Structure 1
Amino acid sequence: QLDADDIRQFSKRAFVETSQASPEIQQLIVDAARNGEKITRREVRQLSDEWTAMSSDHLPDDLKEKVAAHTIPTRYVAPLVREIDKLPEAYQEPIKQAIADGSDLDNIKLVTADAQRLTKYLSNTSQVQAIAQRSVNIDLALEEALRIGCLKLASDLVSQSSQLEQAIAKLYSTWKRVAMSADQLYVEAGASTPNLIDLLNSLDSLASPNIAVQIGNDQSGRTIRLQITEES
């Protein structure tokens, strides 16, 4: 337990973050506080990164030696470890091999980016309905993307497709509300509300199943048309 003098070494936010850390990291932070070190969020993050890097089984010994010698900052290594932890074991091995091929800082950054793309690819492929509706072997597709050096493109494609499906679902939900509100207002409006009728007519291009939206100004813009068809 911490005594009052030890607690005074912590900033308020650092104390909260320490309470949320794993027991091993908490012990490192407490030891530092007892040694008279001021503990801010920066120290909490640094000690957490050091523990993450040095305790990981994913990193080769030569890289850990560089981390211990502070020749490679832990702020670059810890994110790599966390990304590898997110991956299924089968996908961890190629990443660990890439680390073993070069433990310099530039390679660490490249491998971290690849691990992030792998995580994004695997996460998003399970969410895209267009992929789920077909018997796509996402593992083999990933292997092929890696082989031709197109992991970033494949990951971006899947990510953007996921965003597009979500946007379409949101568009449909919003369009339904617009159409319903317009229908209800048409019922209430009449000859005594000509300006309200004008408002409704101006929004018909958004309330009807054939949506039209102009992007840009009149001279250089273009009109985007979408047709909404509901199928059960």
Structure 2
Amino acid sequence: MLQSSDSTDDLAAVLAESIDLNFELPDPEDEEISEHDFQQQLDNAWLVCDRFDLQTEIWRGRILRAVRDREKKQGDARGSGFLNWLKAREISKSQAYSLIELANSADTLVEQGHLDPNAVRCFSKRAFIETAKAEPEIQQLVTDAAKRGDRITRREVRQLSDEWMAMSSELLPEPVKVKASENALPPRYLAPLVKEMEKLPESHQKELQREIAANPDVDTIKEVTTEAKYLSKYINAATTVQALNNDDVDLERAIQEAIRVGCINVAADLVNQASQLEQTIAKLYGTWKRIGSLADRLYVDTGASTPHLRSLLSCLEPLGGEVMEVSLGGDNERTIRLQITEE
């Protein structure tokens, strides 16, 4: 934080001078430079910009936080002073709070001892934001790498997150964890599996655990991940489909049969489409009622002096009646008629 007016004056004087970011970028038409060297030079320049951008936005967040907190203490209850400050600098409220959140994350990581202030320069902007949102254990792994001087991009954060999840998740059976510790099962395959299994009821989790414990290999992990994804999709959609609120339907046994014959993906898609169709019908009904109400109001408010409005009403009449009619364009043009009957 800036401690005095003298320090802010000094900082302002420094910033008044132009900051030289004129990199000597390689000539893209230079055939003598190798592709590796060309990409390396660009990558280094990009990294400098990324670090500069991150540290700038952290300080912007701290500045905005100071303005907001001052307004809370001395301003009006509506926070109009803070909003006017943002408006004068063309900053949206959502952008401001996003920057404040970034600054809070940076300060929290430093205060908890997870991160040395100088290690911030090792992060790309997106990697830092992702680290700030991660679990404390993952934050520790990432910041330890930053303290060693390792370059931290979002890829490294995700890799460390996957490794931690693969070794710590209780959803993975012991044979799978053993193979993961031996690097026989890459964590990048296990993390998606864990995320999908977390969405499932315990009964389905146990069935999938038995399957991967019996065959702890990459192909099985991929297959089970896909199966878990469709299972979750099926279960979530089935609970919202009114047509399935029937005592004659056993959704659990239907799932088991779909898995047994290898068509869980088709069953999941069918149920999901049914859910979307019911929602579309409900939305269609609401829109249809609204069109009828607006047409009635417009008819009452118009007369012989508004022939064009009457013509508009006449053209839209098919959409507000009991039978709606719509023509679908294309080579095979066809007309669709929908009848709505209220009970």
Taking structure 1 as the reference length, the TM-score comes to: 0.90
Residue 325 of structure 2 corresponds to residue 198 of structure 1: no
Output the amino acid matched with 1:229.
T
1:76 aligned to which of 171, 189, 197: 189
Corresponding residue of 1:230: 342
Corresponding residue of 2:249: 136
Residue 164 of structure 2 corresponds to residue 85 of structure 1: no
Distance in 1 of aligned mates of 2:131 and 2:322: 54
Output the amino acid matched with 1:228.
I
Residue 333 of structure 2 corresponds to residue 221 of structure 1: yes
Output the amino acid matched with 1:213.
V
Deviation at 1:44, TM superposition (A): 1.4
1:155 aligned to which of 268, 271, 294: 268
Distance in 2 of aligned mates of 1:133 and 1:102: 38
Deviation at 1:131, TM superposition (A): 1.1
Instruction: Please list, as runs of the form range in 1=range in 2, the aligned pairs for 1:157-196 lying within 5 A after superposition.
Output: 157-196=270-309
Output the amino acid matched with 1:50.
E
Higher relative contact order (CA 8 A, sep 6+): 1
Corresponding residue of 1:145: 258
SS at match of 2:198: helix
Distance in 2 of aligned mates of 1:202 and 1:104: 63
Deviation at 1:104, TM superposition (A): 3.1
Output the amino acid matched with 1:182.
A
RMSD, aligned α-carbons = 1.9
Greater Rg over alpha carbons, structure: 2
1:150-170 deviations in Å (ceiling 9; x for gaps): 211211111111111111111
Output the amino acid matched with 2:342.
E
Distance in 2 of aligned mates of 1:202 and 1:194: 12
Deviation at 1:16, TM superposition (A): 2.3
Deviation at 1:70, TM superposition (A): 4.6
1:114-166 deviations in Å (ceiling 9; x for gaps): 00011111111111111125452211111122222221121111111111111
Distance in 1 of aligned mates of 2:133 and 2:166: 19
Q: Is the 8 A contact 2:299 2:310 kept in 1?
A: yes
SS at match of 1:213: strand
For structure 2, the 5+ residue unaligned runs are 1-112
1:155-190 deviations in Å (ceiling 9; x for gaps): 111111111111111111111111111111111222
2:135 aligned to which of 19, 22, 42: 22
Deviation at 1:90, TM superposition (A): 0.3
For structure 1, the 5+ residue unaligned runs are none
2:220 aligned to which of 89, 107, 110: 107
Q: Is the 8 A contact 2:327 2:336 kept in 1?
A: yes
Distance in 2 of aligned mates of 1:166 and 1:96: 35
Residue 247 of structure 2 corresponds to residue 120 of structure 1: no
Distance in 2 of aligned mates of 1:66 and 1:215: 56
Taking structure 2 as the reference length, the TM-score comes to: 0.63
Alignment length, in residue pairs? 230
Output the amino acid matched with 2:329.
G
Corresponding residue of 1:11: 124
Q: Is the 8 A contact 2:208 2:224 kept in 1?
A: yes
Of all paired residues, the percent bearing the same amino acid is: 54
